[in-house]
Structures are given as C-alpha cells and as structure tokens.
Amino acid sequence: MDVYGLIGNPVGHSLSPPMHKAGYEALGLDARYVTFEPPKEGAVAAIEGADALGVAGLNVTIPFKQDALDAVDPDPLAERIGAVNTVDFTGEGRPAGYNTDAVGAVRALRSHDVDLSGTAVVVGAGGAGRAVAFGLADEGMPVRIANRTESKARDLAAEVPDATGHGLDDLGELLADADVLVNATSVGMEEDATPVPAEALHGDLAVLDAVYRPLETRLLRDASEAGATTVDGAWMLLYQGVEAFERWTGEVAPVDAMNDALRAEL
C-alpha cells in the first residue's frame, strides 16, 4: 500500500483526503491519504521523517510551504515562487518539490476553455497571489498585480517576468483590456464582499476566484452578471490536487471522481 499525506498546522479542515481517496478508488489503487500536524517549526523534520518511513508523497500547506524548500529539490517554478506544496519521494537523494497551486490555477482556467494568450490581472500579493502570478507568467501572460498594500504588489511584480504592480484603485483601468482576472485575496471568504468594483467587470473576462467558501462569491456573482466566464475556487483546489496526484502516481487523474468528492464537501 502507498501512503500519501498532508502536513499542515492546523490541518483538520482539509478537503484533500476525500478528494485523493476518491481518485485512488476510481483507479483501483491500493493507497491511503493521511493528514499530519507537526509543530510549526517542523517542516524539514516532518519531510525527512516521512521519507524515512517510506511515505510516497506529501502535500504541504500553511505554515510549512516556504520551509519545505529546505528539504527538497524544487523544480524551477517552485523555486521562483519560493514555496512547495507537493513533495514526491523518489527513493533516491532529496525528494522532488513542486508548487501545484500555480499549476492548479492554470489548469482550472484551461478546464473552462479559457484562452491564456492575453493579459492577466491578479488581485492579491500574498502566498496565493505569488503562486498564481508566477503560474500565469509561466504561460507567457503579461501579469498585472493589484494589491491593497501597493508596495507588496510592486515588490512581487519586480520578481515576475513581464509584470507590473498596482494599488486596487487601478483595477478599473487594468481590467478594461484584460482577459483573465484572478482573485487571490481572502476577500469574499465567509462574507459577501469583493475586492473588485462590479463596474470594472465585462463580458470578455474570465474570472477565477481562489476563494471556495462560499463557492459563489460576490465577485463571481458580479462577473456572471457582467457576462464573464466564471471559474469557482473549487476548480483551483481540484487541479492542484489533480496535478499532485498525477506526479505521484504517474497516472492520468480521474478528475470527475475527484471533483465530485470535493464538491460533496462544500
């Protein structure tokens, strides 16, 4: 039996176990997905310990994503982002580290036939904003980063290829000729609020909200009313898991089964 898992602190509310379990069942894999809650300074010890125990793969969440870099060989995207959320234990040397949050956003948009050849606006410059900005830039998109604290947007933009940093006041102007908008702030989580003025949205946009509780955020409601394509946060969560699943197992993930299991929890 292969053991996979998640380290986080706290980890109790995670939706990853049912999502991955559904994937193993759909493919008939003899595998299990377990959650672990190591102490907050314990990322490296936990990853090395999992390796020693023969764990096949680990997801990594808050507060361990940055510290995990010290225990893995990160791929170039994870290295640029400075955070790892997926560890693949290959058995030899240091385990491989990936950032599937970035790929998750890209695959969530692709799964809705969104064209990634235009310009993207990313709202938020925290951990999620960072992953999304690098992920979209990796697809060749010019990325406009808008954040409440403008200096953080500018600092992040200085690291991302073909990116600019802005305050939220610029959103109207930035969105006028943008093709993709991603909310990577926590605004809208458990509250009916949005970081983007409704009048800035338009029908040529595809809007992904990283918030998945609620699934239909005020931003997505506004986007829908403006005639935009909408992609809810569960798709991003799904595809970061799908990407990890595929790296670990080498199989094409049973996306529908994993999606059903995830949505049953939301």
Q: In this structure, are residues 99 and 131 in contact, taking their beta carbons and an 8 Å threshold? A: yes
Query: Amino acid identity of 31?
Result: A
Check binding of 17 to ligand ATR (CB under 6 A): no
- Angle at CA of residue 83, ends 91 and 128, nearest 5°: 135
65 in catalytic set: yes
Measured distance CA(231)–CA(78) in Å, rounded = 24
Beta partners for residue 210, in sequence order: none
Stretch in the footprint of ligand ATR (CB under 6 A) among 8-16, 110-118, 136-144, 178-186: 178-186
Which of 157, 168, 175, 189 minimizes the C-alpha distance to 123?
Answer: 168
> Which residues within the stretch 185-214 sit at the binding site for ligand ATR (CB under 6 A)?
185-187, 195
Stretch in the footprint of ligand ATR (CB under 6 A) among 43-51, 147-155, 174-182, 254-262: 147-155
Measure the N-to-C terminal CA separation of the chain; round to a whole number of Å: 29
Check binding of 104 to ligand ATR (CB under 6 A): no
Q: x/- string (CB under 6 A) for ligand ATR, residues 149-168?
A: x--x----------------
Q: Which is nearer to ligand ATR, 147 or 217 (CB)?
A: 147
For ligand ATR, the nearest residue by Cβ is: 126
Instruction: Give the DSSP H or E segment for 183.
Output: strand 180-183
From the list 126, 142, 161, 167, which residue makes contact with ligand ATR (rule: CB under 6 A)? 126
Q: Which residue ranges make up the site for ligand ATR (CB under 6 A)?
A: 124-129, 147-149, 152, 184-187, 195
